[in-house]
Amino acid sequence: MALLPLHLSLAGKRVLVVGAGAVAARRTRSLLAAGARVDVVSSEVGEGFPDVPVARRAFRDDDVDGAWLVLSCTGTADAEVALACAARQVWCVRADTAALSDAWMPATASVDDVVLSVTAGGDPRRAVRLRDALALSLEVGELPLRRSRSGAGSVVLVGGGPGDPDLMTVRARRVLAGADVVVCDRLAPLVHLPEDVEVVSVGKTPGGPSWFQRDIEALLVDRARQGRRVVRLKGGDVHVFGRGHEEVTACVRAGVPVEVVPGLTSALAAPTYAGIPVTARGVTQSFSVVSGHLPPGDPGSTVDWSALARLGGTLVLLMAVGRLPAICAALVDGGRAPATPVAVVADATMPQQRTVVTTLERAPVDAGEVRAPAVVVIGEVVALRHEWDPARDPP
Ligand code: SAH
């Protein structure tokens, strides 16, 4: 059947719904959302039916008079309603038989200002499945949702998760799909971006050229002032040793609109992907996330390693590769048992993820070869590790 798809403006217009069961309830809600004035005729009313006037009686042909549109959802009297509508040249959507209906109600969804409206050969379930899949693709940025440029520049700091692009949030994907400029770190997940997106890599590669923080901030502000939508894509979470606050402040000072999208930090993802629960009932009631970028005793360090040793619980160390011997020694000196289990998880969530399990005493030797990026997990929970390795054995 050849059909003309159409979006109707129903604000203030009278629409008649015949029937008050589940289908009628769903459609009445859609009509109300479109601003229609809905009258319902039905001898019975289903539970939870929307709050609209219901004439509790059988349908009469003259109920159609004055209606712009009629939805017949009775299951039994739809043919009769359709006939009364045809006589008055009013559109009628029959819920019983698509093939006999002069108008179809599509499965719809809206994402931003895009309205999806799907029919699928008269099979409503197929239409709903397709609608859901399309809406998801739009939401996560697999389909181009991008609007033409609005003129107002902005910066969004996005936590991209620990590395596997599957672990980015839906919001992160959506924001990326709308970006004009992406400024990314070395540990940010690699995602496919359209060719017209300007990609600036400001990652500090060991031995390679590196960006000063103030130059990164100046770049964000400059591109936003050009009216472009800038995404600052970082590894893990923006505020976990990510210098996110400095970049937010730079934008605020420059009067550039700025938003932050939280991300899954490697401090949590790495233990999980190594099969280690960061807390476990009866084993530990706390976990601490600590930066190991300065060794114990360094004048710049503000970490009290002996206090951490006494604190117990799970310790999660980031940026600790290279300082591990000094850190383990400081923890043992502070009173943590030398046999405390330790796991070092490198390239967590990536295909090349590797985990070394050892103890505080033996870690300097056993984990001596591990290269950054790695997360170190210290505590009894490491002994609960199970062999399932989601990185290599995806669910
Ligand atoms: N904001 C990030 C951390 C930045 S500091 C986050 O929330 O994850 C950089 C440190 O993060 C690295 O030295 C390493 O300790 C850790 N890291 C980040 N990604 C990692 C990964 N995929 N595997 C292991 N460690 C990772």
Q: Please, is 212 exposed, middle or buried when counting C-beta atoms within 10 Å of its C-beta (0-12, 13-18, 19+)? A: exposed
Alpha carbon of 136 to those of 131, 166, 173, 237: distances in Å?
9, 14, 11, 23
With a 6 Å cutoff on the Cβ, whether 266 touches ligand 1 is yes
CA of 312 to the centre of ligand 1 (A): 23
The structure tokens 């009629």 sit at 70
Under DSSP, is residue 126 helix (H, G, I), strand (E, B) or coil?
helix
With a 6 Å cutoff on the Cβ, whether 319 touches ligand 1 is yes
Look at ligand 1, atom 6, and give the residue with the nearest C-alpha.
236
CA of 346 to the centre of ligand 1 (A): 9
Q: Yes or no: is domain 267-384 CATH 3.40.190.10?
A: no
- Nearest-atom number in ligand 1 for the CA of 320 is 15
CA of 238 to the centre of ligand 1 (A): 11
Which tens digits make up the pLDDT trace of 302-348? 999 999 999 999 999 999 999 999 999 999 999 999 999 999 999 99
* Beta sheet of 374-378, edge-to-edge order: 287-291, 314-318, 374-378, 341-346, 354-359
Beta partners for residue 184, in sequence order:
201, 233
Look at ligand 1, atom 9, and give the residue with the nearest C-alpha.
319
Of the residues 164, 204, 266, 377, which should be mutated to test ligand 1's pocket, given the most ligand atoms within 8 Å of the CB?
266
Q: Tokens representing 310? A: 């006494």
Alpha carbon of 183 to those of 176, 206, 209, 268, 304: distances in Å?
11, 18, 15, 24, 34
Pairing assessment for the beta strands 14-18 and 37-41 based on DSSP bridges: parallel
pLDDT at 383: 96
- Nearest-atom number in ligand 1 for the CA of 348 is 23
Q: Which CATH code is given to the segment(s) 154-261? A: 3.40.1010.10
248: left (phi over 0), alpha (psi -120 to 50) or beta: alpha
φ, ψ of residue 324 to 5 degrees: the values are: -60, -45
CA-CA distance, 220 to 255, in Å (whole number)? 12
The structure tokens 């029959």 sit at 94
With a 6 Å cutoff on the Cβ, whether 187 touches ligand 1 is yes
CA of 318 to the centre of ligand 1 (A): 6
With a 6 Å cutoff on the Cβ, whether 265 touches ligand 1 is yes
Fold of 14-105: Rossmann fold (3.40.50)
CA of 282 to the centre of ligand 1 (A): 28
Of the residues 205, 243, 318, which should be mutated to test ligand 1's pocket, given the most ligand atoms within 8 Å of the CB?
318
pLDDT at 395: 43
Which tens digits make up the pLDDT trace of 218-276? 999 999 999 999 999 999 999 999 999 999 999 999 999 999 999 999 999 999 999 99
Q: Tokens representing 25? A: 């309830």
With a 6 Å cutoff on the Cβ, whether 343 touches ligand 1 is no
Pairing assessment for the beta strands 354-359 and 341-346 based on DSSP bridges: antiparallel
pLDDT at 190: 82
* DSSP element (H, E) containing 252: helix 244-254
185 classed as catalytic: yes
Q: Of 123, 143, 124, give the one whose Cα is nearest residue 133.
A: 143
Q: Do residues 261 and 169 lie in contact, with contact meaning Cβ atoms separated by under 8 Å? A: yes
Catalytic pick among 185, 234, 237, 347: 185
Catalytic pick among 204, 215, 298, 333: 204
CA of 62 to the centre of ligand 1 (A): 70
pLDDT by position in tens, the chain (length 395):
788 999 999 999 999 999 999 999 999 999 999 999 999 999 999 999 999 999 999 999 999 999 999 999 998 999 999 999 999 999 999 998 889 999 999 999 988 889 999 999 889 899 999 999 999 888 877 777 766 666 789 999 999 999 999 999 999 998 998 899 999 998 888 888 888 999 999 986 666 678 999 999 999 999 999 999 999 999 999 999 999 999 999 999 999 999 999 999 999 999 999 999 999 999 999 999 999 999 999 999 999 999 999 999 999 999 999 999 999 999 999 999 999 999 999 999 999 999 999 999 999 999 989 999 999 999 999 999 986 655 555 54
With a 6 Å cutoff on the Cβ, whether 236 touches ligand 1 is yes
